Chains A and B, each alone.
Chain A
């Protein structure tokens, strides 16, 4: 499962860590994040993330 980086603020979503503060369990792939999930750091939506190379 790949990491995804926020195009706007640079925050990185790591599936191994998830986003527990917002109810996302460790092990959740980026694709499985709910559509209304937003970057915990700056608030932009999933469509503003890119796969980290």
Chain B
């Protein structure tokens, strides 16, 4: 282990001791175009406490940063707020090196850490409302089940008013400057939105409840220290407001057209649909899947209230890239959506009903049965695509009024 990487002080007694991953571009199928960080925090209380660890290959970076403040063997407690591997991957090794008095996680965390890493017997389970004295400082715990894993929890450091929020309010963004206000707001909003769209959207109802519950606790919060990306200091109110907005996903006059194409027929149809949307004044974005990653489609759907999908029929089926994106979006459960489909085909033409079935299974309200064009779309077909875009745009406008 080298000792080049140093800790960064974030408050009187707390240090960031995480790792920056400038390289990662594929995070379990989520395109992380700007890398990420795995944040861990060291609380220099009477009982020295480490909050979370990092992804396994970054263990030495974590140890180096800790060692710049204190010998790792002096750590008394470890708290695991989230059992996913990017925060727990090196936990077993860190436990071996540090030999802490106790390791804390939620009850579900104990189960999940056992199932993944075989360390359940080392865990002392805690639940919402429990507190832990660090001698001169105090921690308390708030379980945040399914935000976004069963084990997820927040830890609050009373004396320094820091909420360690694990993945919540986080983003995949590799940074050299740790605080929100040291970074460009537009980038934070964009990456925060992408993170919400790809990770948290399915649990929107639970988030609204959590925001209400935490609001009622009236905790004074100076810092929100997440597990990925910058620490919130100046824009805490703004990110909380955005989380409420994203969770509610109220109808907005914006639509996306998602398509892929074989011989350009579906592409021509997509553009005609777009022209129909334009006619209604609804904002829209066309996302050709040849150049749009599924995780970017997820971000776009979070900003939109209508989805129009286009696919060729290939060997009696929906085109594979469309199936990929629809499967992904179905899992993310966007709410309050209306939509429609269009397709081109040569002989059998199954993709249109297949897409409609998909949209229905996602609780998307279908504006019509859609449009299908044989081989190359005729002028009549394109008019029908235009009308489809117009119909969706009009229905969306009617829904908003």
Contact residues of A with B, CB < 8 Å?
7-9, 41-44, 48
**Which of chain A's residues have a CB closer than 8 A to the CB of B203?**
8
Q: Nearest chain-B residue to A38 (Cβ)?
A: B145
Q: Nearest chain-B residue to A6 (Cβ)?
A: B146
Q: Nearest chain-A residue to B107 (Cβ)?
A: A43
**Which of chain B's residues have a CB closer than 8 A to the CB of A8?**
145-146, 203, 206
Closest 3 CB pairs of A and B: A8-B146, A42-B150, A43-B145
Q: Are A43 and B143 touching (Cβ within 8 A)?
A: yes
Q: Are A7 and B145 touching (Cβ within 8 A)?
A: no
**Which of chain B's residues have a CB closer than 8 A to the CB of A41?**
150
Q: Are A43 and B108 touching (Cβ within 8 A)?
A: yes
Question: Cβ of B205 < 8 Å from any Cβ of A?
Answer: yes
**Which of chain A's residues have a CB closer than 8 A to the CB of B143?**
43
CB distance from A47 to the nearest CB of B (A): 8
Q: Are B205 and A7 touching (Cβ within 8 A)?
A: yes
Interface residues as binary, B97-120 with A (CB distance below 8 Å gives 1, 0 otherwise): 000000000111000000000000
CB distance from A4 to the nearest CB of B (A): 15
Count contacts between A and B, CB distance < 8 Å.
Answer: 26
**Which of chain A's residues have a CB closer than 8 A to the CB of B205?**
7, 48
Count of residues in B whose CB is under 8 Å from the partner chain: 10
Cα–Cα, bound, A41→B145 (Å): 11
**Which of chain B's residues have a CB closer than 8 A to the CB of A7?**
205-206
CB distance from B217 to the nearest CB of A (A): 17
Cα–Cα, bound, A43→B106 (Å): 10
Cα–Cα, bound, A44→B213 (Å): 14
Cα–Cα, bound, A24→B309 (Å): 45
Among B197-240, those with CB < 8 Å from A are 203, 205-206
Cα–Cα, bound, A8→B204 (Å): 10
CB distance from A40 to the nearest CB of B (A): 10
Given A8-B206, A9-B150, A43-B145, 16 other A-B contacts at CB below 8 A? A7-B206, A8-B146, A8-B203, A41-B150, A42-B145, A43-B106, A43-B107, A43-B108, A43-B146, A43-B150, A44-B145, A44-B146, A44-B206, A48-B146, A48-B205, A48-B206
Q: Nearest chain-A residue to B108 (Cβ)?
A: A43
Cα–Cα, bound, A48→B206 (Å): 8
Q: Nearest chain-A residue to B202 (Cβ)?
A: A8
Cα–Cα, bound, A42→B206 (Å): 13
Q: Nearest chain-A residue to B148 (Cβ)?
A: A8
Interface residues as binary, B116-143 with A (CB distance below 8 Å gives 1, 0 otherwise): 0000000000000000000000000001
Q: Nearest chain-A residue to B143 (Cβ)?
A: A43
Among B140-187, those with CB < 8 Å from A are 143, 145-146, 150
**Which of chain B's residues have a CB closer than 8 A to the CB of A44?**
145-146, 206
Cα–Cα, bound, A8→B151 (Å): 13
Q: Nearest chain-A residue to B331 (Cβ)?
A: A10
CB distance from B152 to the nearest CB of A (A): 10
Q: Nearest chain-A residue to B203 (Cβ)?
A: A8
Q: Nearest chain-B residue to A41 (Cβ)?
A: B150
**Which of chain A's residues have a CB closer than 8 A to the CB of B108?**
42-43
CB distance from B19 to the nearest CB of A (A): 28
**Which of chain A's residues have a CB closer than 8 A to the CB of B146?**
8-9, 42-44, 48
A-B contact pairs, 26 of them (CB 8 A): A7-B205, A7-B206, A8-B145, A8-B146, A8-B203, A8-B206, A9-B146, A9-B150, A41-B150, A42-B108, A42-B145, A42-B146, A42-B150, A43-B106, A43-B107, A43-B108, A43-B143, A43-B145, A43-B146, A43-B150, A44-B145, A44-B146, A44-B206, A48-B146, A48-B205, A48-B206
Cα–Cα, bound, A42→B203 (Å): 12
Cα–Cα, bound, A9→B206 (Å): 12
CB distance from B144 to the nearest CB of A (A): 10
CB distance from A13 to the nearest CB of B (A): 16
**Most interface-central of A8, A9, A42, A43 (chain B CB within 10 A):** A43
Q: Nearest chain-A residue to B109 (Cβ)?
A: A43
